[in-house]
Structure 1
Amino acid sequence: MAVMVTGGAGYIGSHAVLALLDAGADVVVVDNLVTGFDWAVDERATLIECDVSDEGRVRAAIRGHDVDAILHFAGSVVVPESVGDPLKYYRNNTAASRSLIESAVAESVKHFIFSSTAATYGTPDKVPVAEGDPTVPINPYGMSKLMTETMLRDVAAAHPINYAALRYFNVAGADPQGRTGQSTAGATHLIKVAVEAATGKRDSVAVFGTDFATTDGTGVRDYIHVSDLAAAHVAALALLRSEPVRSHTLNCGYGRGFSVNQVLDAVDRVTNVTIARRYEGRRAGDPAELIADNRAILAATDWRPERDDLDLIVRDALAWERALAERGV
């Protein structure tokens, strides 16, 4: 049996590929390489260049590689862009996911793990936010992911497939062994942007919003190391395989948050560079604070964070940024 990873040439997907391979799985990656990189896919995996909505090729890949589980990362992820171009997000995230789910059902795939997001909660009434709290997305990105969660719930009720919807909080860092990292040009992830500034790729870092109801007025987020997140997918897959009639929705975070200014202070501290901060107005679709209640994933799986340290996350991101510079990327 093999595991199919869609979007496996991208940031989070390439780390999940490494975690699966390191755990002994056979992995086939499906990626259209629009934002991913073929060199980011470990040579132990098989790479098929196609879109997840290409049902013919996806179904052939499932059959040809005896796939029993799919980890679905492919999609668009920039909140402000989703506000300006919602149809792109409903096409890339919702419609494409529907095609992939149909392929999975048609080929009798047993397990499906979905790359969801804390943006499904919108502006929560309380923090930390738990899986059972209201889901009221305030941007098309969050809504496009919630719609896919709903499809999976309904499909699992009608067909012999179970799923885990993993709601990510803010993902950062890079593989500690330097095998992959965040490589997308023009990325909007705060720590990625900040280490680019620290290494001279940017002149400054924009801080969007200084009037949130937080300790210093800047937005607060729960930052999870990408390698810990990848390990959470391996643990979730083991859970699905052990309980094939149950599905799960699980937060992936550390249960504590840092403000934008606190993150930038950490980057200054780790890099010994004082990054110029450019204070601007709030971005559309940004809540003030998002912190995970992670008790459910800790109770349901054997996953335990290993890199829950902001400075460590920054150091790994910085090492990858320097590696990209050596590659000329």
Structure 2
Amino acid sequence: MDPTHPASFTHEIAKLSTGRTYHYIDQKPDDYDPAHTLTMLCVHGFPDFWYGWRFQIGPWVRKGYRVIVPDMLGYGGTDKPESAEEYSTKKLCADLSALLDHIKVDRAIVLGHDWGAFVVGRFALWHPERLLALVILSIPYTPPRPNYLSLQEVVKHIPHYGYQLYFADSSSTAEIESKLPRFLGLMFGCVKMDRSFVYEGNLRGIVLDDKEEPGPSPKLSDEELKYYTEQLKNMNGPLSYYRTTKTRFDEEKAANLQGKFPDDLPVLYIWGTHDPTTTPESLKVSRAMIPKLKDVAIDGIGHWIMVEAKEEVTGNVERWLEELEFDVKAGSKL
């Protein structure tokens, strides 16, 4: 498991009971025992794929965990449906549950970053019986809304979400694909900008600007950027996540999905103090909705926390899980 060599990880393909085919990493410890080994299910965000967890997989496996890391729907080697409705979190959560069924694991430690953080938060609502513990990275938990709020209205309340309006516009797919190395470089800090891309109206012009090509970044080497570009050639799926606002609301409203987490579900939230997505108000909401919440702030770290603070993320998760002292048989189907 060498983070600089993606082929050194164990790659699998599975047709799930939901009808979708997923590519995933399945890394087992040397002393793997299906009756006793706990499983970690890691869910990436945007624009990412399984490789976003490359620095955590090996250490956690060496600690004795089985680590499962799928390419989420639309990414990498996983199915890429065209319709945005296929990317609702209800359907994504059904896929994750089906993936656990496929690997014969009843309950897992579930972790998510960025969009993955949102997805695993909803997984705790749609499939609470499948979780031993939950780890949320970078994006704070937001409960289901009682009333529909369009993305345009969300941006009025949270201006630094303005970039999402560009992603939600279907015309962004072809534009981003045509400038993919530059776009990924922007997301990972490899391109200098004279203005922030997060505010409404800025991102399209920055993406289409031809003045500067991406260069090296502490977050992504040239080789890693090349690998990202190869894996994310088709951006319709990843961008479709931003086109599900109404679909997600309708599904949650129809199910009367409640926002409070189970009282006995341990939850760890890790965030960087330089990431604007975590605010005092968002932490207040999380604490109100998550009875067993522990939050850890990593000073001076931004959004790409698994790369920028790889040792801190890895170590904080390990220590927290050790404190929980799970029943060794809690996670497996016997």
Shorter-chain TM range is 0.3 to 0.5
Tell me the TM-score normalized by structure 2.
0.33
Tell me the TM-score normalized by structure 1.
0.33
Q: Larger relative CO (CA 8 A, sep 6+): 1 or 2? A: 2
